[in-house]
Structure 1
Amino acid sequence: MTSKRSDAITKGFERTPQRALLKGTGVPDSQMDRPFIGIATSFTDLIPGHTGMRDLERFIEKGVHSGGGYSFFFGIPGVCDGIAMGHRGMHYSLPTRELIADMIESVAEAHRLDGLVLLTNCDKITPGMLMAAARLDIPCIVVTAGPMMAGRGTEGRRFSFVTDTFEAMARYKAGVIDEKELMVCEDQACPTAGSCQGLFTANTMAILTETLGMSLVRCGTALAVSSLKRRIAFASGERIVKLVQDGITPRQILTRQAFENAIRVDLALGGSSNTVLHLLSIAREAGVELPLKEFDRLSRETPQLASMNPGGKHFMEDLDAAGGVPAVLYQLREKILDNPTLTGPTIKEIIASVAKVDEEVVRPVSDPVRAEGGIAILHGNLAPDGAVVKQSGVSEKMMVFEGRARCFDSEELAMAALMGGNIVAGDLVVIRYEGPKGGPGMREMLAPTAALMGLGLGDSVALITDGRFSGGTRGPCIGHISPEAAEGGPIALVAEGDLILLDIPNRRLELKVDEATLSARRSLWKKPEPKIKGGWLSRYAAMVTSANTGAVLKSE
């Protein structure tokens, strides 16, 4: 390493003012020549997945200094989707992804940092950090803080956040459980620090980060409370200094092969539908062309190998004990493409190192949970630019369904109808004007989808939206419908009582209304007034693109 980015603030008499300010922070002369490593930490007291990060910060810092670097912490905000769910706060969740990427870019460029350790965990924070890494293309390594342990009850029962809070709420409303049992769920659902226990968005993104080669082996599944996570944090601190010295940057790792591998692992595990948005956005920053149709092409040839909570029986702690990401790569080995990683060994070398896989948790390709992957991309006259369904969470009975449209122009109106008993078998709930622009912010719909399941309607009612879903959503729920209603997409033209056909095997979403009727409705449609007219979200709504392109901000 002949020169460093940080030389711009440490070398020459012209940089006397900058060195004075660095000394003002406590940097001694003996450390001025070391690589300057920023540790972007999303620690906060507000999110269970992030409350344990103070501990990991210490180990990353020790690793950086042991490796020969000098570290600087700087803070990155986070939003807990579970806490933000079902009210105005959820408008802000997806937009924070863009803010996080912009903030990391700003700090790293302004201070000429040589490399970054990105300490993250929850839903939009991880993709925001990966977007920044790809955009900056300076040495970076990601540390995901890890999943929480499952709650424990009597007779071996295990509790999880979504099933035992959101769905339990609906079961309580329906009289299936009493207040005492509801309180047990509330007390047991989140027993430790860490991201929620199932294969929700946070844990799916952690797994995909490791698959992409941007974090160390086992980082994606090692529990937040484990000593293994501490050792990974230390090793990541050491590794970033080596990456700076060797000039290894994210775009050398984030290739088309890396994204294809990540999609396959996601499909094999039945992960969150939000990963479609996030992988598209990260690929864009990395300069990799990744069309939406690739998700479906890969889904048709990648079997689902695991039955993970919320739709299945296994928790993240089970996947970690079964061998984590390397175990999934091993089972998919004939379909996985070789690619370098930041860790040193290539993907194929990681696969070759696998000694044993618990095949009860990660099944072989010859004996899959389902023949196709966990995510499907639908098209049709209702979604010309595509829609996304987590088919791993849909029962066989609902893979093909025709229902009567029940139209709601907000999540709140749909939720009131569900909880008021106004949705019955044969209905198809349409929630619109909740897309990237219309929401704004493309709110997650965990509350209505969990209510659907909790009320026992998962095999008789479907739900579609131009918004999106939590990674914890299961059931016949189709999101990301593009174009969205606020852009005049066909979902805006659906009328109460229209018949809609959902055909997941044939990837179709069709509004069974003739074109002449739709044309007449289209001529009467008027663009609605923005729901939020001030602050950051009004600027976001003006700049955000469609869900089928990742809901990224326009660059010009």
Structure 2
Amino acid sequence: MQKALRSQQWFGKKGKDGFIYRSWMKNQGLPDDEFTGKPVIGICNTFSELTPCNAHFRELAESVKRGVLQAGGIPFEFPVMSLGETLIRPTAMLYRNLASMDVEESIRANPVDGVVLLCGCDKTTPSLVMGACSVDIPAIVVSGGAMLTGKFQGRDIGTSDVWRFADALKSGALAEELLNSAEGSMCRSRGHCAVMGTASSMACMVEALGLTLPGNAAIPAADSRRKTIAQLSGRRIVEMVAEDLVPSQILTRKAFENAIRVNAAIGGSTNFVVHLLAIAGRIGVPLTLEDFDQLSLDVPLVANIQPSGKYFMEDFYYAGGLPALMNVIAPFLHREVITANGKSVAENITDAVSFNQEVIGTLEQPFREQSGIMVLKGNLCASGAVLKPSAATPQLLQHRGPAVVFEHIEDYKARIDDPDLPVTADSILVLKQVGPKGYPGMPEVGNMTLPAKLLAAGVTDMVRISDGRMSGTGFGTVVLHVSPESADGGLLGLVQDGDIIELDAAARKLTLVVEPAEIERRRAVQQPFESPYARGYVQLYVRHVEQSHLGADFDFLRGGSGSTVTRDSH
């Protein structure tokens, strides 16, 4: 027997309550039979003109609506907070949890039987999935797609080139006028970053988890097939409602393991770690920081995509996209798990092939043996830190050097290009107070631009350590997500100029080489962190955000609350 539609708790009521629920909806021109048992599908839309990556979502939503109507459902689009990575200050990550609450409460409070999650820019994907997991009604994700590859002076460019342009500008190798002319050449179509940055990593994450139709991750935003998959997703969500296929049935421990291994094979963003941990916390799947290291240990880098490789998301799609890559690494995957289309991973990927082994390689001939996420432990990161080896300089993965310390981001900006800064290529740059509480919001400033005088001397990489994050488009030997953070009593807060730090990536160690007695002396005189925020959401954030090794979610949001609304509104 088919489960009763949740929406009928509103539209199926008799008397005054039913009158109110139906009558006001009829001002949109809806006939009586729309309320007699059709599944109601919410389209959760992160459209915003202030989120350039998602600015085409009104059009994408129309494709979803067509699919819903074709399958016999009734679609209703609703907005939720949109997080644009390029504009929001101080960092979009500060508002990920807020957006997830918006999604959760919007779904629970309204008469919807299933939801389509429209997301693209970095934080929109995890925030929508986190919110939907907390309610656990049928849900499917439609990503917005990457922009077309940038074209500048006869070569391909993408977001990762921003960091190269910045270094070249600081070293004097690039004129400001030339940088200005590159702006319109890089972002030349709708969509999110054209490389395997966080947005594309998130799109791959949700497909690897089984929350999308096969092929969703890599279709370019400007390709008509992006609209096609949106329409097919609209059809599919109506079927999912009939089947009562909810996120908790798809998001098993095995699905999370698949996503971790896929992220290793694509050279995905380090931000993947903090977002997947938060999603696992919402759906109730046990997942730890160490899992990311252990589960990706033997998975090589198969996708040759920037920033870890050469090519772009557009090339990845033409080469076969994520189904082809997942077929290549099939021996590492749990192929029996169910996905949003009702089929297993095996059924979705068996016939997928790589059409270009320059872009999607093989297990026998990968682009790099070492991939995934390294999880470091040691006295400097008692609860863990992360490092992306595919983005690092191999020679620096074993390094010992003196610290050059920046107490906060303003200190870094004021002194990094000072010609008198006591720094050499062997130094280790340390940035404090950029973690979840300290900034607040854990911004993407971990891949600090190198000192101008070293760039001018030809230095291209240094070991950099912080409790913040790094853009998924960034690269370098960068230790991130140091936990506990400096503002939460972490040893990072006690590091001083000249202290010797040792990075031993192979041994997964990050050590501050300072005598314990000296550490205790410093701790005894250390001033406790005091947040300057005394009101509003930011105060709530600082009080309740968990550390990065737990996903930086709010402590009161772990687990779900379900879809039941116990009280009527009239």
* TM-score of the superposed pair, with normalisation by structure 1: 0.95
The Cα shift of 1:112 comes to: 2.5
Helix, strand or coil at the partner of 1:412: helix
The Cα shift of 1:358 comes to: 2.2
The Cα shift of 1:227 comes to: 0.7
Structure 2 residue corresponding to 1:256, chosen from 253, 263, 271: 253
Unaligned runs of 5+ in 1: none
The alignment of Structure 1 onto Structure 2 pairs a total of residues equal to 549
Task: Give the equivalent residue in structure 2 for 1:487.
Answer: 488
Task: Give the equivalent residue in structure 2 for 1:104.
Answer: 103
Tell me the amino acid that sits aligned with residue 328 of structure 1: L
Residues 75-121 of structure 1, C-alpha deviations (whole Å, 9 max, x = no match): 1222222334xxxx134x11322122211221221113101011010
Change (3 A) 1:455 1:135: farther
Change (3 A) 1:431 1:402: same
The Cα shift of 1:460 comes to: 5.1
Change (3 A) 1:458 1:380: farther
Inter-partner Cα distance in structure 2 for 1:455 and 1:532: 40
Helix, strand or coil at the partner of 1:464: strand
Residues 395-416 of structure 1, C-alpha deviations (whole Å, 9 max, x = no match): 1121111121111122232133
Residues 321-345 of structure 1, C-alpha deviations (whole Å, 9 max, x = no match): 1111111111111111021000232
Whether the 8 Å contact between 2:39 and 2:241 is mirrored in structure 1 is yes
Task: Give the equivalent residue in structure 2 for 1:51.
Answer: 55
Task: Give the equivalent residue in structure 1 for 2:563.
Answer: none
Structure 2 residue corresponding to 1:397, chosen from 395, 399, 404: 395
Q: Do residues 280 (structure 1) and 277 (structure 2) align? A: yes
Inter-partner Cα distance in structure 2 for 1:545 and 1:478: 19
Tell me the amino acid that sits aligned with residue 112 of structure 1: P
Residues 109-144 of structure 1, C-alpha deviations (whole Å, 9 max, x = no match): 111310101101011110011112211110011000
Inter-partner Cα distance in structure 2 for 1:531 and 1:362: 48
Task: Give the equivalent residue in structure 2 for 1:17.
Answer: 20
Inter-partner Cα distance in structure 2 for 1:220 and 1:233: 12
Task: Give the equivalent residue in structure 2 for 1:30.
Answer: 33
Inter-partner Cα distance in structure 2 for 1:450 and 1:98: 32
Task: Give the equivalent residue in structure 2 for 1:125.
Answer: 124
Residues 213-267 of structure 1, C-alpha deviations (whole Å, 9 max, x = no match): 1011111000000011010000011111010011111111001111000000101
Helix, strand or coil at the partner of 1:72: strand
Whether the 8 Å contact between 2:304 and 2:358 is mirrored in structure 1 is no
Task: Give the equivalent residue in structure 2 for 1:148.
Answer: 147
The Cα shift of 1:348 comes to: 0.9
Residues 375-434 of structure 1, C-alpha deviations (whole Å, 9 max, x = no match): 111111100110011111001121111121111122232133333343431221111111
Inter-partner Cα distance in structure 1 for 2:456 and 2:121: 28
Task: Give the equivalent residue in structure 1 for 2:4.
Answer: 3
Inter-partner Cα distance in structure 2 for 1:141 and 1:207: 14
Tell me the amino acid that sits aligned with residue 173 of structure 1: K
Task: Give the equivalent residue in structure 1 for 2:560.
Answer: none
Task: Give the equivalent residue in structure 1 for 2:411.
Answer: 413
The Cα shift of 1:54 comes to: 1.7
Change (3 A) 1:202 1:390: same
Q: Do residues 462 (structure 1) and 463 (structure 2) align? A: yes
Change (3 A) 1:271 1:347: same
Helix, strand or coil at the partner of 1:372: coil
Tell me the amino acid that sits aligned with residue 483 of structure 2: S
Task: Give the equivalent residue in structure 2 for 1:347.
Answer: 345
Task: Give the equivalent residue in structure 1 for 2:174.
Answer: 177
Q: Do residues 386 (structure 1) and 384 (structure 2) align? A: yes
Tell me the amino acid that sits aligned with residue 396 of structure 2: M
The Cα shift of 1:553 comes to: 0.3
After superposition, residues 77-476 of structure 1 pair within 5 angstroms as: 77-84=81-88, 89-91=89-91, 93-155=92-154, 157-163=155-161, 165-338=162-335, 339-421=337-419, 422=421, 423-445=423-445, 448-449=448-449, 459=460, 461-476=462-477
Inter-partner Cα distance in structure 2 for 1:458 and 1:284: 41
Change (3 A) 1:53 1:419: farther
Inter-partner Cα distance in structure 1 for 2:370 and 2:175: 38
Helix, strand or coil at the partner of 1:199: coil
Helix, strand or coil at the partner of 2:280: helix
Change (3 A) 1:450 1:98: farther
Tell me the amino acid that sits aligned with residue 74 of structure 1: F
Task: Give the equivalent residue in structure 1 for 2:507.
Answer: 506
Change (3 A) 1:420 1:547: same
Helix, strand or coil at the partner of 1:49: helix
Helix, strand or coil at the partner of 2:54: coil
> Taking every aligned residue pair, what percent have the same amino acid on both sides?
35
Q: Do residues 69 (structure 1) and 70 (structure 2) align? A: no
Inter-partner Cα distance in structure 1 for 2:76 and 2:311: 38
Tell me the amino acid that sits aligned with residue 11 of structure 2: T
Whether the 8 Å contact between 2:296 and 2:372 is mirrored in structure 1 is yes
Tell me the amino acid that sits aligned with residue 299 of structure 1: S
Tell me the amino acid that sits aligned with residue 100 of structure 1: A
Helix, strand or coil at the partner of 1:119: strand
Residues 142-182 of structure 1, C-alpha deviations (whole Å, 9 max, x = no match): 00000001111333x0111231x343133112101122321
Task: Give the equivalent residue in structure 2 for 1:515.
Answer: 516
The Cα shift of 1:353 comes to: 1.8
Change (3 A) 1:10 1:445: same
Helix, strand or coil at the partner of 2:140: strand
Whether the 8 Å contact between 2:450 and 2:462 is mirrored in structure 1 is no
Inter-partner Cα distance in structure 2 for 1:540 and 1:12: 39
* TM-score of the superposed pair, with normalisation by structure 2: 0.93
Inter-partner Cα distance in structure 1 for 2:197 and 2:124: 14
